[in-house]
Amino acid sequence: MVSKIPTTRRASRARLAAALGLACVLAACGRGDDAETPAAAAPGAITAQASQQAAARQQAADDAIAGLSVDELRSAASAAYQESRLYAPAGENAMEYYLALREKQAGDAAASSALIDLLPMSVIATEQSRDRADYAEARRLLGLIERADNTHPALERLRASIASAEEQTAARAEQQKLTAEQEAQRAQTVERERAQQQQQQQAAAAQQLAQQQAASEQTAREEAARQAAAREEAARQQAAAPPREETPAPAPATPAPAAASAQLRPLSTPAPRYPADALRAGTSGEVMVEFTVGVDGSVSNARVVRADPPRTFDREALAAVRRWRFEPVPAPVTTRRTIGFAPTAN
């Protein structure tokens, strides 16, 4: 069965296609003007020309995306996400749509959550583009990462490594005296490798995200069923208990925080995911999290009290604690836990 694309999605794609087409025409004109240059142009000039053309296409795509409404951006982002276009191709991927949606509608929870999930994959894609000497694509992805989180710990490392790799490539090209034809063939090979690698990587990443989402939904359903059964059992016991005369009783003393914390009995405390950047770098650390356990055993008001190193493991630690479940307690209990992160030795 062929699915029908909504009118808003068709309209937004039509505008994007028109903008990208204009960018391609401009780039073609630029190539026509350069036709009179010598055939054996300097490799550095060819790389600069490719970067300028990529920048022109990206600017046209950004302008087209900026003209979409909030609903059109949300629809386009969802379609790109489902079709595994997570961060490529330029101008037609989920990350750019979600960035535009977040910029147009500040505080959009869905866009912010999706960008958090896409950042680790974008960092890996940037490194792969750098390693295959596709510097225009590496800088495009670096720009997306910076727009998503300008304090991301990998930004400076990626920026420096891309610049260093470009300098080394230019030095090798100068030594080898590559001709313009050889450089064009290399660019075509890089483009094919990039398209194939990104397609495979995005498909795998989309499958992983779908599995994580399904697991989270299953856990939530099981927890909801457990809570419903507990409420039904409590109601049944209350209904079966004989009525008794109430007599005044002295108010119980409020237990000390340490005693209240000792009363907590965990039912499910799944371990946090290890951030991909920290795992590759071999970084270890710990995060102290303060949170409140409700009467039904669920966790709320989770916050980071202390983190070493800062902002490296915070998000994964909070995400794990929010999934924790404890046995029901008579009154809410606020406690603290320290979560350690250490890379597993091979």
Residues 277 and 198 placed together within one structural domain of the fold:
no
**Would 182 be classed as within a structural domain?**
yes
**Would 231 be classed as within a structural domain?**
no
**Would 242 be classed as within a structural domain?**
no
Residues 302 and 156 placed together within one structural domain of the fold:
no
**Would 237 be classed as within a structural domain?**
no
Q: Is 302 helix (H, G, I), strand (E, B) or coil?
A: strand
**Would 346 be classed as within a structural domain?**
no
Domain termination site, one of 214, 243, 278: 214
Domain that holds residue 208: 7-214
Domain termination site, one of 159, 188, 214: 214
Task: Give pLDDT, residue 97.
Answer: 95
Q: Is 326 helix (H, G, I), strand (E, B) or coil?
A: strand
Residues 198 and 292 placed together within one structural domain of the fold:
no
> What is the domain count for the chain?
2
CATH assignment at residue 306: 3.30.2420.10
Task: Give pLDDT, residue 3.
Answer: 38
**Would 21 be classed as within a structural domain?**
yes
Task: Give pLDDT, residue 23.
Answer: 43
Task: Give pLDDT, residue 177.
Answer: 79
For the four alpha carbons of 225, 226, 230 and 231, in that order, the dihedral sign comes to: negative
DSSP result, 87-152:
S-STTSSHHHHHHHHHHHSTT-HHHHHHHHHHHHHHHHHHHHHHHTT-HHHHHHHHHHHHHH-TT-
Query: pTM of this prediction?
Result: 0.46
Per-residue pLDDT of the chain (346 residues; tens, 9 = 90+): 333 334 444 544 555 554 445 444 433 444 444 444 334 445 555 566 766 777 777 777 888 898 899 999 999 999 999 999 999 999 999 999 999 999 999 889 999 999 999 999 999 999 999 999 999 999 999 999 999 999 999 999 999 999 999 999 999 988 887 677 888 888 899 899 999 999 999 988 888 888 888 887 888 789 888 888 888 888 877 777 654 444 444 344 344 445 556 679 999 999 999 999 999 999 999 999 999 999 999 999 999 999 999 999 999 999 999 999 999 999 999 999 999 999 875 4
**Would 233 be classed as within a structural domain?**
no
Task: Give pLDDT, residue 38.
Answer: 38
Residues 90 and 195 placed together within one structural domain of the fold:
yes
Residues 189 and 290 placed together within one structural domain of the fold:
no
Q: Is 311 helix (H, G, I), strand (E, B) or coil?
A: coil
**Would 88 be classed as within a structural domain?**
yes
Residues 267 and 163 placed together within one structural domain of the fold:
no
Task: Give pLDDT, residue 242.
Answer: 56
